[in-house]
Structure 1
């Protein structure tokens, strides 16, 4: 088995190719660490898209949609961390090998044709996000390959074999449900039922169900699962069901994009590696400040799940990241002034 800490390995593909009955306790722990890395890898591009929206009015439809998905992903991340620690595993976020790399693939070999990039919200970035969330058999768009949902289903299939490992140790809880919808609370994994319910929430919020594209754990009635919500933004049309054929298609009312900062995604290793757009001293300071805040957030999250403590410190760091990101997105690229800089999400090791 490839080391679990190698972000760019094909460890998830290896796990998916292994018969369920051959999984050991270690495979389950490795799978959960991989799931944590998957959830973490989606938050920066989704957050960048949210932070690039000029209006701060959370009732604006597209902003509301992207914001709710960001909070869903944070909830999923927390639930999977609790799954790992309840069976005696250790959440690892601050080994440089576990930190997401942009631009680059999803961790573990999931959907290897995708290159995940940072940047502001556009039709193209929404299409990328839909591809990340794509079910194996979407109701409105044909898909193939190993999906994130299929990986979670494998974990759900295997977990009952190791239910005896569940101890309820080092569980972190946080109430998100009252603000962001049923199922969004980060809750303790004290029983197998807790685990299986959490996996179902994660799958359904991302992919919908076999019969409906709606999120069955919404913040508001009619809220779509992530794949379909992002696909509406990408297609620029609402998803509607033909009353005669019952087929779902993106042929409804227009979905206009909100005004955004035209934030570009940095090259691998950061903006210093772009010879035409190397940042000046002030911009470099902003970028470094963001990277320090991001790194501090990862350390705070890791510390919380290693001790069962509060994630309050991590939330504070993310709030600071939001403010710094907006400052970065206000600075025009010197060689391409119709675009702005975007955060780098580099892990600071010194």
Structure 2
């Protein structure tokens, strides 16, 4: 891939400013690495929101929606990694320069006025989630002028269509996403242009819906909404319904959606709690360390999975990554049950800091 890659850059904006005629092999490979970083960047804030829901409300509609969206995003990242390897590259995931950094912007300069942070589920957090997923032309609420994730994926699709010979089908992983809620949620091999087109449609439309409808075209249940609209209706506390057929119009005027009870996780400062000047006890530090180690191992196993030449080794690495994902939940929720000092009523939460492997 060309040049040095950094998490905080304007790389996506710069890629999108290049004329379509210049979207060559180098452009596509650079764009796909940025896409890997984008997909990974959404997971920590969504996971913090999900894990902050108290156990008593873990079966609520909001909790189920958050769980489904997290599984979708994991699948999307896997599909993008398969796009990277199908064109002969390896996704860079376990790299201190490339892992998400919070609070801060999304990678590549997407939506530069948006600050993404790690905090518990709340109205401000839901507004942040929906801004991440906002389509170019939503069927409800205002549109914004910026480089959206959906527009970026459209450009990637057109680059694949103009150069289908780049699709080699190398090092393709398969993962049946146990617990996934709808169609298109498994990580599948991408060996043809049709495979890539289908995968990109899943990624775009599960997040943004279509220009004509807020519904997820790949639902677990009929009428399920795309991520943007799911987040917006939880934010508004009312289901999104069609209020007019001619012209089609939607509004948040449906049944009430109660917010679940949550642990009031505070916003993790840059570099983590200690770096932000927040005192931590020995027990809190133990949970922070355990979480960061599991998270870092998860990233390393993911990268090794897509680097592996032998399918059996790749599957083993991917399965070990899944184990680490589940290992993260215990210390995360222990932190969210521990009050911050100072009597603010807020709690600690996971930092998602990458820790290099011991030599």
TM-score by length of 2: 0.94
Tell me the CA shift for residue 46 of structure 1. Answer: 0.3
Residue 250 of structure 2: aligned partner: 248
Pick aligned residue for 2:276 from 274, 277, 281: 274
Tell me the CA shift for residue 241 of structure 1. Answer: 1.1
How far apart in 2 are the matches of 1:56 and 1:79?
Answer: 34
Could you say what secondary structure the match of 2:155 adopts? Answer: helix
Residue 320 of structure 1: aligned partner: 327
Could you say what secondary structure the match of 2:248 adopts? Answer: coil
Could you say what secondary structure the match of 1:242 adopts? Answer: strand
How far apart in 2 are the matches of 1:267 and 1:92?
Answer: 25
Change (3 A) 1:177 1:192: farther
Residue 84 of structure 1: aligned partner: 84
- Equivalent positions of 1:88-167 (< 5 A) are 88-144=88-144, 145-167=146-168
How far apart in 2 are the matches of 1:46 and 1:146?
Answer: 21
- Unmatched tracts of structure 1, length 5 or more: none
Say whether residues 1:68 and 2:68 are aligned partners: yes
Is the 8 Å Cα contact of residues 204 and 216 (structure 1) preserved in structure 2? yes
Change (3 A) 1:57 1:180: farther
Residue 48 of structure 2: aligned partner: 48
Is the 8 Å Cα contact of residues 240 and 252 (structure 2) preserved in structure 1? yes
Tell me the CA shift for residue 165 of structure 1. Answer: 2.0
Is the 8 Å Cα contact of residues 4 and 34 (structure 1) preserved in structure 2? no
Tell me the CA shift for residue 177 of structure 1. Answer: 7.4
Say whether residues 1:14 and 2:21 are aligned partners: no
Residue 342 of structure 1: aligned partner: 349
Residue 33 of structure 2: aligned partner: 33
Is the 8 Å Cα contact of residues 294 and 321 (structure 1) preserved in structure 2? yes
Pick aligned residue for 1:332 from 339, 343, 346: 339
| Displacement over 6 Å in runs of 4+ | none
Could you say what secondary structure the match of 1:271 adopts? Answer: coil
Change (3 A) 1:302 1:56: farther
Is the 8 Å Cα contact of residues 337 and 347 (structure 2) preserved in structure 1? yes
Residue 302 of structure 1: aligned partner: 303
Tell me the CA shift for residue 288 of structure 1. Answer: 1.1
Q: Give CA-to-partner distance per residue, 1:104-123, whole Å, 9 cap, x none.
A: 00000000000001111111
Q: Give CA-to-partner distance per residue, 1:33-58, whole Å, 9 cap, x none.
A: 10010000000000110011113666
How far apart in 1 are the matches of 2:222 and 2:45?
Answer: 26
Say whether residues 1:234 and 2:243 are aligned partners: no
Change (3 A) 1:211 1:4: farther
Tell me the CA shift for residue 337 of structure 1. Answer: 4.2
- Unmatched tracts of structure 2, length 5 or more: none
Could you say what secondary structure the match of 1:273 adopts? Answer: coil
How far apart in 2 are the matches of 1:266 and 1:119?
Answer: 7
Change (3 A) 1:4 1:211: farther
How far apart in 2 are the matches of 1:177 and 1:282?
Answer: 33
Once structures 1 and 2 are overlaid, which stretch shifts more, 171-180 or 29-38?
171-180
Q: Give CA-to-partner distance per residue, 1:193-251, whole Å, 9 cap, x none.
A: 10011001110000001111000001111110000000111111111111355311112
How far apart in 1 are the matches of 2:23 and 2:236?
Answer: 40
Is the 8 Å Cα contact of residues 208 and 225 (structure 1) preserved in structure 2? yes
Once structures 1 and 2 are overlaid, which stretch shifts more, 49-58 or 110-119?
49-58
Tell me the CA shift for residue 13 of structure 1. Answer: 0.2
Is the 8 Å Cα contact of residues 2 and 10 (structure 1) preserved in structure 2? no
TM-score by length of 1: 0.96
Tell me the CA shift for residue 3 of structure 1. Answer: 3.7
